[in-house]
Structure 1
């Protein structure tokens, strides 16, 4: 900016400066808008039916939020839904939590502000809003608690509702029901939604509705995503059943006969473990101690210190799966990894199965670190008999996943007893929770 221009700015009143700022922000928005090149699945369909939905299903990094944010900006800058309203539009953004709505749908790199620099976030006694200079607004809601859903009852009438990460909403069904009551502004009030799919009943029901138009994006086709990030995502999920869900945007169906279901694991998943009374590192070693890199199961789990009601209302100590360190590695590396986990988590013991030639693990552990508390377990019962009680702990909501391990989830939800040998990660998880919750030591701790 030249000295003459700076001198001229000093003569402007605050009102004139604010008007200039808005004008420049509008020009910036137009430039960004013109440069945006959508993926095919981000292109909105034709007219959406009243109370219908454009549902974007996609893998990680496919721009689902980006597509919905652009759609909402275009809606605001299109024909007014009600000319009597300031800006002609009153909309809503519903996310798993209100904080998610702020961070992802408004302030984030793919949110409204990234598409229209004129958007401002305001919190008033009536709630939190994304607002445009024209007066158009989108009110932000969460769907995490019953109180959140109740706020949707009195959320006001809207012309457009955006569901951000719909499959991650704890109360998706009630959120849909209550928000629909307020979709009554303009000639064609409707939904848009963006989510990585999960096999929830509400998502499956939406896919079956004739007024829901679905587009799908795959992570491997998301060429705007940095190559390093795309490669890491592909490496994390490639070869697992969850690849279809997390990378391809498909809704998975449960495997008939599997002891664990994807929906069950999601119901039991928690963000962090509470204070723990005991922690173990369970190892399901390969049968031999050769120098070859074999698949080793290493899972860390803990037992909650407090008595908490389970699904049936019984007060008990709950189990928490803290870490999955399994992988293909040499015996010495498996022992070192288990010992590192033992010290990092301040575990009470390393527990290892020694059936089928697994005795070598104890020898190697003691050679590396003789201070470790190490004990062995023997499989005196069949794999199904051992796994069923542990699966029942999850059914009773007494066992919880703290980690998000695609490989562990994949093994739990695809193993069908009798059709194949149980895999290493699953076996290590079964040994860990059995030791904590189903043995005499676990029962003693639960009764204490």
Structure 2
């Protein structure tokens, strides 16, 4: 990826390595306030990964925490998206600040001494006994055991004056996610795919997204709506918005 950056245009280079405060939209900037969890619930292509990575790097530059956790569903996803991806930590790190990534140890070590350990939903028990002052969790809503992973993560988020976690995810219809959204300690950011349209392929915007607009899947994956139909409700969301009959009406 670094070789690609060197042969790209000035605009492309700036988009990857430029000052985040200049590049970020307001919804991508680290919020102020006394929150514990910054929950970024946004559509595909919103820029969630870049926001999560930049948040982690900001905490390290500010010396907010020296021990951090990176959590995804699998080790492959941590490496492919959070660490080595186009918007991942290694790609966007400034010259002289890039961490050493030791795959066999599952850790990233920065020149300043900060360390991030890698954890997965597959082996969430490894979070037992771990402790850190900051955490980045990617695609929490698709974890099969999201509540169990989250519980262990929260027990470990205990170092420093104000330990915090950033969660970047597209929603899934989980009561656990709804509970997290409504938690007083959560700062919630909502966003749609269209907010980042200028950085996405025109083909994707005009053909792919158009095919899913007005559908239940589009509401979830593009507009980041949490589609939770209330148990026992006479009118389902599908029936109200899309005219689709609810199975409950035919029992």
Give the TM-score of the pair, scaled to structure 2. 0.81
Tell me, which stretches of 5 or more residues in structure 2 are unaligned? 1-12
Q: CA deviation at 1:205?
A: 0.8
- Aligned equivalent of 2:45, options 38, 61, 80: 61
Runs of 4+ off more than 4 Å: 255-258, 417-420
Partner of 2:99: 119
Seen in structure 2, the aligned counterparts of structure 1 residues 417 and 68 have a Cα distance that, compared at 3 Å, is closer
SS in 2 for 1:108: coil
SS at match of 1:254: coil
Alignment length (residue pairs): 227
Instruction: Tell me how far 1:250 sits from its aligned partner.
Output: 1.5
| Superposed displacement of residue 80, structure 1 | 4.3
Listed as ranges, the matches of 1:195-344 within 5 Å are 195-223=169-197, 224-254=199-229
| Aligned match of 2:87 | 110
Alpha-carbon contact 1:102-1:140 (below 8 Å) kept: no
Native 8 Å contact 2:213 2:219 kept in 1? no
Q: Secondary structure at the match of 2:50?
A: helix
Give CA-to-partner distance per residue, 1:400-444, whole Å, 9 cap, x none. Answer: xxxxxxxxxx99x95325979xxxxxxxxxxxxxxxxxxxxxxxx
The higher radius of gyration belongs to 1
Q: Hey, what's the Cα distance between the residues in 2 that align with 1:173 and 1:90? A: 23
Greater relative contact order (Cα < 8 A, sep 6+): 2
Distance in 1 separating the partners of 2:232 and 2:161: 48
**What is the alpha-carbon distance in structure 1 between the residues aligned to residue 161 and residue 248 of structure 2?**
57
Q: CA deviation at 1:93?
A: 0.7
Rounded Cα–Cα distance in structure 2 between residues aligned with 1:256 and 1:100:
34
Contact 1:68 1:192 in 2 (8 A): yes
Name the structure 2 match of 1:18: none
**Equivalent residue, structure 1, for 2:111:** 133
Residue deviations 1:282-302, cap 9 Å, x none? xxxxxxxxxxxxxxxxxxxxx
Query: Is 1:92 paired with 2:65?
Result: no
Question: What SS is found at the alignment partner of 2:227?
Answer: coil
CA offset at residue 255 of structure 1? 6.8
Distance 1:189 1:256, change over 3 A: closer
What do the CA deviations read for 1:71-102 (whole angstroms, capped 9, x no partner)? 10111111343xxxxxxx11001111121111
Q: Deviations over 1:185-211 (max 9, x none)?
A: 111111110000111121011011011
Distance 1:417 1:138, change over 3 A: closer
Aligned to 2:153: 179
Which residue in 2 is equivalent to 1:14?
A: none
Could you state the TM-score of these two structures normalised by the residue count of structure 1?
0.47
- Matched with 1:444 is none
Q: Secondary structure at the match of 2:23?
A: coil
Change (3 A) 1:414 1:105: farther
Deviation per CA, 1:155-200: give whole Å up to 9, x if none: x210101110010111111111111121121111111100001111
Aligned equivalents of 1:170 and 1:160: distance in 2? 23
How much is the aligned-residue C-alpha RMSD, in angstroms?
2.8
Alpha-carbon shift at residue 254 of structure 1 (Å): 2.1
- What CA distance in whole angstroms lies between the structure 2 residues aligned with 1:67 and 1:103? 16
**Distance between the aligned counterparts of 2:91 and 2:75, measured in 1?**
19
Aligned position for 2:144? 170
Q: Which string of whole-angstrom CA distances, capped at 9 and with x for unpartnered residues, describes residues 272-324 of structure 1?
A: xxxxxxxxxxxxxxxxxxxxxxxxxxxxxxxxxxxxxxxxxxxxxxxxxxxxx
- Show CA shifts across 1:128-178 (max 9, x none): 01221122111111103xxx1211113x21010111001011111111111
Task: Choose 233-242 or 206-215, whichever is displaced more.
Answer: 233-242
Q: Distance in 2 between matches of 1:39 and 1:78?
A: 21
